[in-house]
Amino acid sequence: MTEEARITLQITGEEIDGFCREIVAASSNSGRRHATLVALEGFIARFAGADSHSPAYEAILGRIRNFSEQTRSDLLREQAAALDAALEQEDVAALGRIHAGLSRNGFSRIAGRIGQQMPSSRRQRTTAWLRQWCDQAEQAARQASGWPDAMDFRAAGIDLQAYRAAKDILIQLTEEHP
């Protein structure tokens, strides 16, 4: 068996800063920018070899994380605005798309923040709409399953991601503001 050819990468903090700035400037999509920076961090961590956990390694990962935290903040801010609009328009499909594009923690954070900032009358209206929608979805899923204690969202024609999003928001709204 022959040994594969290898390369050695050498990167300075300034070079990684420049590359991260290129990544940020290359796309207007905050999700794509953030995912690229996370992948870069993973790549460096995976292939650092003997330099793993050296001061230079830690400094370079720290610089990437600084950019990554900014893109994460941008992504959450954009998704929060989209979630707020989807709630105002009672657009459950949009809730599902937003939910799918974020981590569960990120989604819960923005849903909780939106709930805290909602005027009381809107929060009550939104909570009532979500409760009604979730109840109807659960009823349809129970009927579609054929079993009294089981739900089949697919057979009922209900997008499970949208249901999860609606349920997560409902939990945030009722926990934060009973």
pLDDT tens digits, 71-85: 999 999 999 999 999
pLDDT value at position 9? 85
> Does residue 1 carry a pLDDT above 70?
no
Q: How confident is the model over 121-144, as a mean pLDDT?
A: 96
- CA 1 to each of CA 4, 8, 136: distance values in angstroms, whole numbers, following the listed order: 9, 22, 62
Residue partners of 158: CB distance under 8 A and separation at least 6: 137, 140, 141
pLDDT value at position 169? 96
pLDDT value at position 177? 47
For residues 146 and 150, what is the distance between their CA atoms, to the nearest angstrom?
8
pLDDT value at position 178? 43
Residue range 48-69, pLDDT digits in tens = 888 888 999 999 999 999 999 9
Sign of the C-alpha dihedral computed for residues 24, 35, 114 and 122 taken in this order: positive
Q: How confident is the model over 142-150, as a mean pLDDT?
A: 90
Residue partners of 64: CB distance under 8 A and separation at least 6: 16, 20, 37, 40, 41, 44
Q: CB atoms < 10 A from the CB of 30, how many?
A: 19
* Predicted TM-score of the model (pTM): 0.80
